[in-house]
Structure 1
Amino acid sequence: MKLEAFQTLAAVIAEGTFAAAAHVRHMTPSAVSMQMKQLEQYVGKPLFDRSGQHVRPRPAALELVETMSPALNMLEALRRRPSIVVEGHLRVGVIEALQPILLPAAMLHLREYHPRLTIAPQRGTSVQLTEEVKAGGLDAAIVARPQRGLRAGLHWTPLASQSLVFIAPPGRKAGARETAHRALGTVELTNRMRAMDWVRYDRATTTGTMATRYVQQLVPGKRSLVELGSAAAIVAMVSAGLGFSVLQLIDRRLTDIYPVDVWPLPKGGPVFELGVVTRQVEAEDRPQQAWLEAVQHALALASAGRPAER
């Protein structure tokens, strides 16, 4: 079990909620939730009472934090000694659609905290970048989790888990734009898909594969008007009234630039899992950990709709 899971648990106890701990840890609430579930599996007992609207720590969680805190505090003090410098060069892959969302904030974070660590980004699809990490051409990659699982020798660190959404052109009346809190019913969703053209997410991507399978389950034989690999381009096309799409919206700022109506999919819809993949033997290296910290910081800013901090 990675030490950061125990640090996240301590943050949850100190801050009182997953959301508050996520802000402190520069993570998303979903990433905090995943870490807590992994920690519960590791210790073999539930750490939280989830019976109400809010999770509450059980005595086992408090005992675990009390046991681990002295060691974690000593390790953190060692990491922050001025004599310990993170330096080196990392070749990292980032899904093309995520580069403008994550790279600016991540690079600014590294420039402030680890100025002697240099990053060489490379773009590509999740499948391409994961293969490059396996082959040694990249040190790490931010990718969607393969639906068939990782190949042997690779290590996965979860960043975020997000259900795909249905987007449609905005309502015609001023102020009619809708971000629904309820999911569309399957029948209503199917009717909307039949009535509109489809702006498809590129099937060469993990997200595009999931979205295509889902749309064609509801509307067999549905043909797309156009197929694009950029979430920004797809949202712009839908905003212009050219059709609907099913995709992930990690950066909700896109819908401020290109207004669309957004609905959750019915229960059981596809889920996009984002994470960092590295080679198993290098996952704990200090440069890798510094890069992961920077990415988590950038993702937390994007999820909160905040710009990169200078």
Structure 2
Amino acid sequence: MKLQYLHTLSVVIAKGSLTAGAQEVNLSTSAVSLQMRQLEEYFRQPLFDRSGRSIRPTEFARALAATAERAMGEIEAMRDSRSLSPAGRVRLGITESVEATLFPRAYATLRRRTPQIELQVRRGHTASLLQSIKAGELDIALLVRPTGGITRQLAWSELWRQPFVLVVPRDAQVSTAKAALRAYPWIRISRQLITGRLAARYVDALIPHCPALVDLENIDCAVALVAEGVGVAVLPKLRPELLDAYPVREIALGSSAPTRQLMLVKRRADEDNRRVLLVEAAFEEAVSAFRA
């Protein structure tokens, strides 16, 4: 049984005949008649008295049409209510790099447009954030795509692809990554992080068994060490504030450069959650601003 058939029933009753009702809903009379018989089969009782020259709706048909009209009216009102600003809590998980780059702009956008949404923010690494999503402890997370692939049990969408670069002191007299890594110590991002594993894979392919001076988990700290002339680092392309704040420059890694994918992930049950969708949209706008 289709809801459309109930709408047709209401029109037929309002117009007084199958033919007039059919013209109103832009169907043939035979098609409307078939819909009415299917409704009768579904409800197991007649909807029209066909004993005379014209059909007349039964009391049950009138009650059914009135009920359907009320229900459809309430459904339409619920659809219209989507334009209202939703309120409530969204539990957001972010990595440290997202916290320093995208989060401030996205949060400001969200506060400006939908102040009724309350964000509860948890910072962590990709593995822990994924576990929290699966356990229902977070509603949405921004994390680096795992190198081992993604599970289809969750809903994933790519937010930003960030190519890696080599960060060197601004006055370094080198122009290629290989030359820089031979002239300066390598400041390595920890292999415990996906970002670190991607960078290490590139360096190992370029200079096998290249020794690392130090292992860090914080990209900003790595940039600060490069600025002090301590070494060089393979990092995701820096945000403008870091390039302005520190005397460093970037060397492009060419076609062999690794790429870090920032992903939005949530449970499939939350794909239509309006609060979650608004948080997602705020981060998408933040990415667009960085790309501009």
Do both share a fold (TM > 0.5)? yes
Counterpart Cα distance in 1 of 2:149 and 2:269: 18
State the alpha-carbon separation in 2 of the partners of residues 264 and 281 from structure 1: 41
The answer on whether the counterparts of 2:92 and 2:141 sit within 8 Å (CA) in structure 1 is yes
8 Å CA contact retained: 2:164, 2:260: yes
Matched residue SS, 1:254: helix
Kindly indicate whether residue 206 of structure 2 is the aligned counterpart of residue 218 of structure 1.
yes
In structure 2, do the counterparts of structure 1 residues 78 and 302 end up closer, same or farther at CA, with 3 Å as the change threshold? farther
Which residue does 1:242 correspond to in 2? 230
1:90 aligned to 2:100? no
The equivalent residue for 1:135 is: 135
Residue 153 of structure 1 corresponds to which residue in structure 2?
153
Q: Deviations over 1:147-170 (max 9, x none)?
A: 222123111111111211111111
SS at match of 2:254: coil
CA–CA separation in structure 1 for the residues paired with 2:178 and 2:261? 25
1:110 maps to 110
Distance in 1 (CA, whole Å) between partners of 2:214 and 2:291 is 28
The one-character-per-residue Cα deviations of 1:263-294 (angstroms, maximum 9, x if unpaired) are 11121221111121111221221011100111
Q: Structure 1: which 4+ aligned runs deviate by more than 6 Å?
A: none
State the match for 2:278 in structure 1: 290
Query: How many pairs are equivalent?
Result: 214
The question of whether the paired residues in 2 share the 8 Å contact of 1:251 and 1:303 is answered with: no
Q: Where do residues 3-152 of structure 1 align in structure 2 (5 Å cutoff)?
A: 81=83, 84-152=84-152
Shift of 1:259: 2.0
8 Å contact from structure 2 (residues 140, 264) kept in 1: yes
Contact kept? 2:158, 2:264, Cα under 8 Å:
yes
Partner of residue 192, structure 2: 204
* Native 8 Å contact 1:86 1:290 kept in 2: no
What is the TM-score when the length of structure 1 is the normalising length? 0.64
Between the aligned partners of 1:204 and 1:226, the Cα distance in structure 2 is 14
Whether 1:300 and 2:288 are equivalent positions in the alignment is yes
Question: Which residue matches 1:171?
Answer: 171
Going from structure 1 to structure 2, the CA distance change for 1:197 and 1:288 (only over 3 Å counts) comes to: same
Q: Do the aligned partners of 2:91 and 2:121 also contact (CA within 8 Å) in 1?
A: yes
Q: Is contact 1:250-1:303 (8 Å) kept?
A: no
Change (3 A) 1:279 1:80: closer
Aligned counterparts of 2:116 and 2:156: Cα–Cα separation in 1: 25
Shift of 1:250: 5.0
Aligned residue type for 2:240: R
For residue 119 of structure 1, what is the amino acid of its counterpart? Answer: L
Instruction: For residue 80 of structure 1, report the CA deviation from its aligned partner.
Output: 7.2
* 1:197 shift after superposition: 0.3
Give 1:111's aligned amino acid: R
CA contact (8 A) 2:86 2:117 kept: yes
User: Partner residue of 1:269?
Assistant: 257
The one-letter code matched in structure 1 to 2:256 is G
* 2:240 matched residue in structure 1: 252
Q: CA deviation at 1:237?
A: 0.7
Equivalents in 2 of 1:136, 1:289: separation in Å? 17
Structure with bigger gyration radius: 2
Q: Which amino acid aligns with 1:135?
A: A
Alpha carbon RMSD of aligned pairs, Å?
2.1
Q: Distance in 2 between matches of 1:109 and 1:95?
A: 19
Give the whole-Å Cα distance in 1 for the aligned partners of 2:286 and 2:81.
21
Cα 1:111–1:246 shift into 2, 3 Å: same
Percent identical among aligned pairs is 31
**1:216/1:252 CA distance change after superposition, 3 Å:** same
**Unaligned residue ranges in structure 2 (runs of 5+):** 1-78
> CA offsets per residue over residues 175-214 of structure 1, 9 Å max, x none?
x9x9xxxxx6xxx432321221011112111111100111
Say which SS state the counterpart of residue 225 (structure 1) adopts: strand
